[in-house]
């Protein structure tokens, strides 16, 4: 008798609760977070391109020719999260010379995601809301890692949901996934 009651109660709960109500952060004061990720066509030499909300283009390192074409493609901001010593040409000079805003905020230090960088990158994106942003690292893995960190830390997503979305955004390397998992594990402590 108790078994039938519990089975019926479970069915009622499954019908009443939204399918994703178990995900922390999926609902906040009745508002659902909409994550609009879309695989995009290549931009110059960059073939792994994912857009977020149609304005933030997450990708790998553009070459000089691609940087030179960003303005004509409608980009207004370049956000580079590689280390300052990783570039092969003066990207900042090229970008600012074309009248675009340029930011360089290295995400990793000693192989770990820096919480201060997660915050600063988020602030830059918010400050430039509505502008077309090229958001890059070397291969899109760190950019996607930042995205997963942001989802978990700032939007309350559970670890596995944040990692899954980071993979959709371009995280393909097991090493970056481990770095992201380590960061997320430290968040929950």
The arithmetic mean of pLDDT across residues 16-26, rounded, is: 35
* CA pair distance 170, 72, nearest whole angstrom: 25
Least confident of 84-93, 103-112, 128-137: 84-93
Tell me if residue 101 falls in helix, strand or coil.
strand
Q: For residue 17, what pLDDT is reported?
A: 29
Here the tokens at position 46 are: 């960059």
* CA pair distance 139, 119, nearest whole angstrom: 21
pLDDT in tens, 38-78: 999 999 999 999 999 999 999 999 999 999 999 999 999 99
pLDDT in tens, 114-159: 999 999 999 999 999 999 999 999 999 999 999 999 999 999 999 9
Q: What percent of the chain has pLDDT over 70?
A: 83
| Angle at alpha carbon of residue 145, lines to 80 and 47, rounded to 5° | 60
Q: Which residues contact 69 (CB under 8 A, 6 or more apart)?
A: 44
Q: For residue 24, what pLDDT is reported?
A: 39
- Domains annotated on the chain, with CATH: 36-187 (3.90.190.10)
Reference 181, options 167, 165, 160; nearest CA is 160
Which band of pLDDT confidence, cut at 50, 70 and 90, is reported for residue 32?
A: low
């Amino acid at each position: 008798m108790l078994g039938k009651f519990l089975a019926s109660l479970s069915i009622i709960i499954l019908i009443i609760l939204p399918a994703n109500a178990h995900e922390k952060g999926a609902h906040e004061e009745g508002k659902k977070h909409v994550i609009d990720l879309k695989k995009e066509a290549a931009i110059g030499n960059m073939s792994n391109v994912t857009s977020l909300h149609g304005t933030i283009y997450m990708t790998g390192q553009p070459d000089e020719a691609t940087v030179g074409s960003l303005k004509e493609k409608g980009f207004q901001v370049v956000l580079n999260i590689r280390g300052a010593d990783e570039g092969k040409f003066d990207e900042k000079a090229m970008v600012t010379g074309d009248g675009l805003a340029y930011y360089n905020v290295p995400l990793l230090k000693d192989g770990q995601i820096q919480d201060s960088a997660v915050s600063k990158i988020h602030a830059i994106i918010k400050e430039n809301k509505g502008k077309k942003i090229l958001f890059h690292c070397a291969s899109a893995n760190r950019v996607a890692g930042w995205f997963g960190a942001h989802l978990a830390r700032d939007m309350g997503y559970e670890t596995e949901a944040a990692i899954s979305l980071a993979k959709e955004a371009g995280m393909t390397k097991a090493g970056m996934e481990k770095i992201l998992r380590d960061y997320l594990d430290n968040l929950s402590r």
